Amino acid sequence: MEPADAPRFRGLASRGPKRGAGLDVAFAVLNRIAMPTRRTFLHRTAAAAGGLALAAPLAAAPRFPRIFHASGSEKVRMGFIGVGMRGRSHVELAARRTDVEIVAINDIEPRALADTQKALRDAGRPEAEVYDRSPFDYQRMLERRDLDAVIVSTPWEWHVPQAVAAMRAGKAVGLEVSGAADVSECWQLVDAQEETGAPLMFLENVCYRRDVIAVLNMVRQGLFGETVHFECGYQHDLRGVKFNDGVGPYARGAEFGPKGYSEARWRTLHSQFRNGDLYPTHGVGPVMTMIDANRGNRLTRITSMATKSRGLHNYVVDVGGAAHPNASVRFALGDIVTSMIQTSGGETIVMTHDTNLPRPYSLGFRVQGTKGLWMDLNKSLHLEGTSPAHRWEEAQPYLDRYDHPLWRRYGADASGAGHGGMDFFVLHAFVEALKRKEPMPLDVYDAAVMMALTPLSEASVARGGEPMDIPDFTRGRWISRPPIFALTDEY
Amino acid sequence: MEPADAPRFRGLASRGPKRGAGLDVAFAVLNRIAMPTRRTFLHRTAAAAGGLALAAPLAAAPRFPRIFHASGSEKVRMGFIGVGMRGRSHVELAARRTDVEIVAINDIEPRALADTQKALRDAGRPEAEVYDRSPFDYQRMLERRDLDAVIVSTPWEWHVPQAVAAMRAGKAVGLEVSGAADVSECWQLVDAQEETGAPLMFLENVCYRRDVIAVLNMVRQGLFGETVHFECGYQHDLRGVKFNDGVGPYARGAEFGPKGYSEARWRTLHSQFRNGDLYPTHGVGPVMTMIDANRGNRLTRITSMATKSRGLHNYVVDVGGAAHPNASVRFALGDIVTSMIQTSGGETIVMTHDTNLPRPYSLGFRVQGTKGLWMDLNKSLHLEGTSPAHRWEEAQPYLDRYDHPLWRRYGADASGAGHGGMDFFVLHAFVEALKRKEPMPLDVYDAAVMMALTPLSEASVARGGEPMDIPDFTRGRWISRPPIFALTDEY
């Protein structure tokens, strides 16, 4: 199925970064994916099935047209595309669940595969079958009939082709977060989902962060009044992630691309060649749950501006010296990229991308309505009629009182899971919705909107801040789709 | 000099606000100002003097072309155009200075004039001569030969015509802050200053706020590295200012326009008819000092988005009931207006206008460079190599250590002055620069840029977030003008 001469994935950035080849190689590899037979077959099948999603009337399609759950068993048989640091964390969480079987893993890094098998053994699980023959071996894995679902945790540029391939193979997809390379990728996801009916869950874990989902609870109970304005972002000093010594993931060094390790090998290339909000989902995802985006509301417009780019170059010089080859690399990514987003509901969202400079981690949330606001930076809120006039109040007592039912029920299970427990909930939701044949709480339309913000912000930055329209990926169905995210304590 | 039939200023909003007449009346009044003789004379004088400012070569005009200080005495003889609550506060501060004589006051409100005379008597000062015959009586006051300078503290729409008239009458001008109605007003200010040489100081007091100017000190000493990104704004729940009972300035009520008192009488009309950042200066002014705006750097572009408008209507209903006549007023101003500004130096500035909703006061400063950042919301900073990695530090020890020399020297004098002492410094700078015949530290170009942000943000909002070019009011001289703001402990 895959071209015999396909370069191995680790060769992604095998040419010098200065020559701009890294992503080109990656995309060239992707463009050579050859699966016309399967794609044609499934297209035909979908057409024969009546194209349910496409033909559904505007007001009558609040749920997925059909739920794709091949096995029918109580257990979800799961495969993992990508078992690097992020994918392995999902494997470990899945291994804690009695309702999941870990059938297959796919990667091309022997170290990643070995570490994952060890993690399975440590969890008392059988080793999974390995698919490691090439960067395209996930396609062979997807041919397995005993596989219900896959989790995609690969470098960003692989997310869409792998998710699309999985849906077309009839698998449910848990898709790790990223920004798209191009808006057309988002449409590919939407089209594949609508044509196949395969569930897709976007694994935006911050939507389940304990304070964030408590604030969602407060929003829904009307404490902030009508929603008006939001701030959010991804403000995380990633210099130690974008560069390392090529051996350890967080070891100090000035290497990236072919000489880097883990994310430094591929993620940094996006900073070298792209200027926009490269990582919008952790900020905007939670906001979307609070304004019922794609469910009575939608994001309509974005405009972005970027600062000059200094941080990554300075870091290379600081760590590697002025004579280090990477000191002559020009990084396209502005150190701070700010975006403003409008919604059809009249809200605005200000989103900040800040990953190249020294700073404490902060997603910078602000949730503001007609009756008050919450901000996470000062861990405070103000609610009219409750808080002292013109004064902040400590947020924690409110966060405790409005602790989301999910955390009340599953807080103990989440304990020890990655990222303060929220990783538990995002996998939990995927598995539970799948078992119940219910729609995914963060679905393909949410994924498409969030992922589209990256190329749209790039376009806006390149045009000096011109606003860009955000496509309506629901094709009008946002008007009547009801909110479903985290309505109960189930998932 | 003034038309005999000019309506009195208090009639500004004499028609119902729903008919949109308030500002129209004000502007119609302004358009009928008749002072052709003086204007023509001064134009001719300026031309005869060689048009120094206009003819000066690009690199040789860092200072005002000539300093206009008629009296030559040690004391500055000062008049006040507008002695409402803001103007009276300046009078009281001026009365504490031994180098200022308070010669004349102009207003049309008997209560304001009486309160001001009482304040002068209480300060052991002689009463000032009163100019109160009409909204244009400031013109008669400006004819006095014994007047060196005026402070303009009137409703926003009067700022530019009064400042221009004062400059053309050969007076130095201390101009209170506001946004312009139109960019052409900013050019009027610049043209008048360049043609007359009369000094103009923009009284942006937050530039002297103790923490803000300490941070400026830190910026200049390189603690934050190269400047990259800023946040600022005017976030102040003004509902109790925009509405009152028509008797007291902060008394609870749902009245504004002709039935309102003090700022509710005129300021609220801007919220009724305009949608943009109505009050940019307190936020952007300090940022401009930190990036040397108009002095080696400049603001080049702005884009703005506004939320829906809910807060003012809700407030009227809450306070006055749903049957109150003002409950049917439609307010144009979005509750939150966010702007992004680009600079020629590659920085971005995010500016928030938030005056219609319940919230604690905050100008929301963030000052970020390649080596760290300060934020005032959490009173914290992070400096690479000094702060613990990825952690905030309390800002106060740094603010103390880098306390600006001006505060070290004059902190005791500033004690008791308005707005935490910063009002002392802005008047002090105006008077001291005038006495020394030195350029104003916040000059007409700074005023023009800040004031222009309001109509430019309105235009951007109206165009769905399209970026608007910010004029170069220095006509190229920003390239070579050196920074002068608060370089020493003098002013």
* Of the candidates A318, A287, A6, the residue with the CA atom closest to the CA atom of residue A140: A6
- Alpha-carbon distance of A272 to A347, in angstroms, equals 33
Count of alpha carbons within 13 angstroms of residue A441, beta-carbon side: 27
What pLDDT is stored for residue A35 in this prediction?
Answer: 29
* DSSP sequence for A23-37: HHHHHHHHHT---HH
Amino acid at A328: S
**Chain A residues near residue B360 by CB distance under 8 angstroms:** 382, 390-392
Spatial separation of the C-alpha atoms in residues A474 and A451, rounded to whole Å: 14
Do residue B359 and residue A372 have CB atoms under 8 angstroms apart? yes
Gap between the Cα atoms of B282 and B288, Å rounded: 11
Which segment of A9-18, A243-252, A414-423 scores lowest on mean pLDDT? A9-18
Least confident window among A55-69, A84-98, A466-480, B254-268: A55-69
How close A286 gets to chain B, by Cα (Å)?
19
Answer whether B359 sits within 8 Å of A368, measured CB to CB.
yes
CB contact (8 A) between residue B348 and residue A338:
yes
Q: Is the pLDDT of residue B5 over 90?
A: no
> What is the band of A419 on the pLDDT scale with cuts at 50, 70, 90?
confident
Mean local confidence (pLDDT), B299-303 = 98
What is the total residue count of chain B?
Answer: 491
pLDDT on residue B300: 98
Q: Do B336 and A348 touch (CB under 8 A)?
A: yes
**Rg (chain B; Cα; Å):** 22
A311 contacts B370? CB cut-off 8 A: yes
Q: Which residue of B has its CA nearest to A382?
A: B359
CB pairs under 8 A between A and B: 143
Name which of B308, B336, B464 is nearest A467 (Cβ-Cβ): B464
Read off φ and ψ for residue A156, nearest 5 degrees. Answer: -50, -40
Dist CA B193 CA B63 (whole Å): 12
pLDDT value at A103 more than 60: yes
Average of per-residue pLDDT across A167-186: 98
B359 contacts in A (CB within 8 Å)? 368, 372-373, 382, 390
| Nearest-by-Cβ selection for B370 from A340, A357, A464 | A357
**pLDDT at residue B62 greater than cutoff 60:** no
pLDDT band at B408 (very low <50, low <70, confident <90, very high): very high
Q: How confident is the model at residue B417 (pLDDT cuts 50, 70, 90)?
A: confident
Is the pLDDT score of B371 beyond 50? yes
CA–CA min distance A240, chain B (Å) = 11
What's the average model confidence in pLDDT over B30-40? 33
CA distance A69 to A149: 8
* B212: amino acid identity, one letter: V
Maximum Cα–Cα distance across chain B: 70
Task: Using pLDDT thresholds of 50, 70 and 90, give the confidence band for residue B248.
Answer: confident
Å between A344 CA and nearest CA of chain B: 10
Rg (CA), chain A: 22
pLDDT for A40 beyond 60: no
> pLDDT band at B73, cuts 50/70/90?
low
Burial of A74 (0-12, 13-18, 19+ CB in 10 A): exposed
Band (pLDDT 50/70/90 cuts) for residue A417 is confident
Report the Cα–Cα distance between both ends of chain B, in Å, rounded. 37
The interface pTM score, or ipTM, of the predicted complex is 0.87
Chain B residues in contact with A357 by the CB 8 A cut-off are 228, 368-370, 372-373
- Cβ neighbours of B369 in A, within 8 Å: 357
pLDDT at A73: 55
Q: Which two tokens stand for residue B256?
A: 């504004």
Contact criterion met (CB below 8 Å) for A446 and A288:
yes
DSSP H/E element including A473: none
Tens of pLDDT, residue by residue over A330-345, are 999 999 999 999 999 9
Say if residues A139 and A168 touch (Cβ distance below 8 Å).
no
For A476, the 3-state DSSP assignment is: coil
Q: Which two tokens stand for residue A316?
A: 């290379």
Distance CA B158, CA B161 (A): 6
User: Which among A307, A342, A372 is the nearest to B305, CB-wise?
Assistant: A342
Residue in A307, A354, A467 nearest the CB of B465: A467
CB-based contact B465 A340, cutoff 8 Å: yes
Q: How far is CA B195 from CA B38, B162, B450, in A?
A: 13, 16, 21
Under 8 Å between Cβ of A18 and A259: no
Closest CA to B81 of B120, B116, B125: B116
Alpha carbon of B474: minimum distance to chain A alpha carbons (Å): 22
DSSP state, residue A49: T
Element (H, E) at A299: strand A299-306
**Structure confidence at residue A286 (pLDDT):** 98
Asked whether the beta carbons of residue A373 and residue B357 sit closer than 8 angstroms, the reply is yes
How many other C-beta atoms are found inside a 10 Å radius of the C-beta of residue B483? Answer: 17
* Cβ pair B390:A237 closer than 8 A: yes
Residues B358, A303: C-beta atoms closer than 8 Å: no
Instruction: Identify the CA nearest to B249 among candidates B108, B84, B419.
Output: B84
**A126 CA to centre of own chain:** 29
Contacts with B465 from chain A: Cβ below 8 Å: 301, 303, 340, 342, 467
For residue B469, the cross-strand partners are B301
User: Is the model's pLDDT at B388 over the cut of 60?
Assistant: yes
Q: Least CB-CB distance to B466: which of A338, A391, A467?
A: A467
Identify all chain B residues contacting A464, using CB atoms and an 8 Å cutoff. 301, 342, 467
CA A375 to chain B, closest CA, distance in angstroms equals 9
Q: Is the pLDDT of residue A265 over 90?
A: yes
- Residue in A370, A381, A392, A460 to test binding to B, most B beta-carbons within 10 Å: A370
What average pLDDT is seen over chain B?
Answer: 88
Strands (E), B347-486: 348-354, 366-369, 372-375, 380-383, 393-394, 468-469
What are the structure tokens assigned to B33, written together?
Answer: 């100002």
Q: Which of A335, A368, A466 sits opposite B336 (nearest CB)?
A: A368
Q: Which pLDDT score is estimated for B6?
A: 32
Q: What is the mean pLDDT of residues A267-288?
A: 98
- Quick one: average pLDDT of A292-319? 98
Contact in structure between A251 and A6 (CB atoms under 8 Å): no
Q: What mean pLDDT comes out for the span B244-257?
A: 91
Among chain B residues, the shortest Cα distance to A311 is held by B370
Ramachandran bin of B360, using left for φ above 0, alpha for ψ from -120 to 50, beta for the remaining angles: beta
Mean pLDDT of A419-424: 88
